[in-house]
Amino acid sequence: HSNYLRDWTIEEKDLENFVYFNRKGPLECLLCKCIHDKDQRWFSRVCASSGRFIVKCFRQNSDERGIKGPGFPRAFVKLPSWAKYNEALTATEIYEERYVRPLPDKGDIYVGSPWEIGKTYVLEHLTISDGVNLLVLSTRHSYSNAVTTRLNLKSYCDIDGNINLPDHKRVVCQIESLHRITNNCRYSKKCKCSPIQYDLWLDEIVSIIAQAQSHLAGQSIEKLYKLIQEARRIIVMDNDLTDLNIEWIKALRKGIPLSIIHNTFQPQKGKIFRLAPNKKTVLAELWEWAKRMSLLPFENRTKLRIKEYHGKSDPVEKAHDFSNIEESWSNVDLVAYTSTLKIGVSCTNPKFERAFCLFNSYIETNAGTNQMLFRMRCIKDYVCHIEQRSSNAPITEKGLFQWLLNARRECLPRELQNRGIFPDIDSIIWNKDVLTVQLWVAYMLEKFRSRRLFGWRMVDFLREAGMIISIIEPIPKSEKSVVSLSQAVKANSSIVKVEEISDVSNATIVD
């Protein structure tokens, strides 16, 4: 009723949120056909069971017969499941131990615990019946050889064509290849025998959902729902498991007994995570460290010894180095790698004390890179910058409403349709009642205002893992506008030689 209603306010009464509308002028009420006084406003509330708004005017004692409130698409009833919210995990078993205990043999299992306390390896001792296969879903392109060997997993990368579950006892697959998974008779395509039973292991579930909702995954989210529904049982793991993250999974598994395990051990306790405001600050800190290192008295060399790994690195050399990194890095001062490195490692060499990190906004979908960084137990100090994007900034009504209105124009390219806050932009487009969507947004903003949905999740669970979080203040700008990296380094460093300034100016990110 946009011709009648102007704006609204939100009030909470008895733990229920009411949206009060103001009218544009002394017009006839469209519900009771009367002209309301100034203080008689329309109001509405959310019906929790159906997710619908029930709209009333002040003269109504009950809802008008024959008229239903506008309905919400399913995606709008709650905040998307992959979004982080300060809500504890309601667990059936809570303990604080260095490693995860053996898992139950029956029912669905949800495990929430930080990195590096054995969530993955606990599956080595999991009992799976002979007639049941294991399907592992992950966002990692590849597991380390140690993991695949100990768990006897076959990688989807080594399988041509469809991944037929009866043909593979234990197989690991990434999200964008879900369309390849089938469950057909291994002997005859025309056979109508029942599909084989399988257990489903969802590794790093928050990253799985974020990737399944991305434009790279196509229609994988529907395939994921189907696999979850049809699995004999599921095993869900994440270092940041919350009720909100798994509520949608439990809805697909109604009537199945479950165990929710929460290990509260803090493996990162005492480590320092310093959040930098920009890339220049991280590189300036790295430059200071390199200067101090180069001034130390070394007997047989005059420069830093560096190993670097990136997309164009020699694959043979890379494989050799990572077969035994303790030996490969024994005489190295600095290791630099990009997210193209998909191999998880654990290094205990005490000389690696600091890490300098530049994260892009998709860091959460790359669980392998994250784990490689934070499982280096010897590192005590991290200097990191997490690149922000529009949906990484605090939510504002103005920005979100504008995004919704743009979405309703039905002209967004397909590759951009899943980059907003909501996982299903089609639901927004199909719902032609813009007022309904705006009401839901207002309700959401009131409850989840200023929550950051992407990069700050990482900071949250590092704090919960025991890290000390601090913010590095921005480099103060001089009277001149500091625009280049070399100027930033010069402003934030002590005496720097001219040739060193030149080297930094021409450096690549890996350098």
pLDDT at 235: 92
- Most confident listed range (144-153, 354-363, 377-386): 377-386
pLDDT digits (tens, 9 = 90+) for 113-128: 877 777 777 877 777 7
Backbone angles phi, psi at 191, to 5 degrees: -65, 140
Residue 294 is given by DSSP the state H
CATH of span 93-263: 3.40.50.300
More confident residue, 335 or 121: 335
More confident residue, 506 or 268: 268
Distance CA 406, CA 429 (A): 10
Q: How confident is the model at residue 261 (pLDDT cuts 50, 70, 90)?
A: very high
Helix (H) or strand (E) holding 504: helix 498-505
pLDDT at 25: 65
Cα distances from 399 to residues 73, 76, 299, 393, in angstroms, run 21, 18, 59, 10
Averaged pLDDT of the chain: 68
Query: In 313-364, which ranges are E strands?
Result: 334-337, 354-359
Instruction: Please check the confidence at residue 11 and state whether its pLDDT lies above 50.
Output: yes
Q: Judge contact between 343 and 234, C-beta under 8 A.
A: no
Instruction: Please check the confidence at residue 424 and state whether its pLDDT lies above 60.
Output: no
Residue 450 CB-half CA count within 13 A: 0
First to last CA, the chain: 60
3-class secondary-structure state, position 200: strand
Cα distances from 63 to residues 29, 41, 359, in angstroms, run 14, 15, 52
pLDDT digits (tens, 9 = 90+) for 433-468: 444 455 445 444 444 433 343 355 567 667 777 888
CB atoms within 10 A of CB 373: 17
Distance CA 5, CA 500 (A): 65
Segment among 163-177, 343-357, 451-465 with least mean pLDDT? 451-465
Residues carrying CATH 3.40.50.300, the chain? 93-263
pLDDT at 198: 92
Distance CA 240, CA 246 (A): 11
When pLDDT is averaged across residues 319-328 and rounded to a whole number, the result is 83
CA 62-68-69 angle, 5° bins: 90
When pLDDT is averaged across residues 359-384 and rounded to a whole number, the result is 69
**Tokens at 384, concatenated:** 């990191």
Write out the DSSP string of 47-62: ETTTTEEEEE-TT-SS
Residue 180 is given by DSSP the state G
CB atoms within 10 A of CB 262: 18
Q: Which amino acid is at 306?
A: I
Q: Scan for tokens 């705006």, then name that residue.
A: 438
CA 499-502-504 angle, 5° bins: 115
Q: How many residues does the chain have?
A: 511
CA 321-322-325 angle, 5° bins: 75
- Most confident listed range (135-144, 315-324, 437-446, 451-460): 315-324
Please choose, from the candidates 57, 33, 29, 26, the residue with its C-alpha nearest in 3D space to the C-alpha of residue 43: 57
pLDDT at 233: 92
When pLDDT is averaged across residues 65-85 and rounded to a whole number, the result is 36
pLDDT at 290: 81
Instruction: Please check the confidence at residue 230 and state whether its pLDDT lies above 80.
Output: yes
- Most confident listed range (120-129, 194-203, 423-432, 478-487): 194-203
Distance CA 125, CA 123 (A): 5
Q: How confident is the model at residue 420 (pLDDT cuts 50, 70, 90)?
A: very low
Q: How confident is the model at residue 2 (pLDDT cuts 50, 70, 90)?
A: low
Q: Which amino acid is at 7?
A: D
pLDDT at 446: 41
**Tokens at 108, concatenated:** 């669905």
Q: How confident is the model at residue 41 (pLDDT cuts 50, 70, 90)?
A: low
Q: How confident is the model at residue 302 (pLDDT cuts 50, 70, 90)?
A: low
pLDDT at 110: 93
Residue 257 is given by DSSP the state -
Strand partners, 293: none
Distance CA 169, CA 135 (A): 8
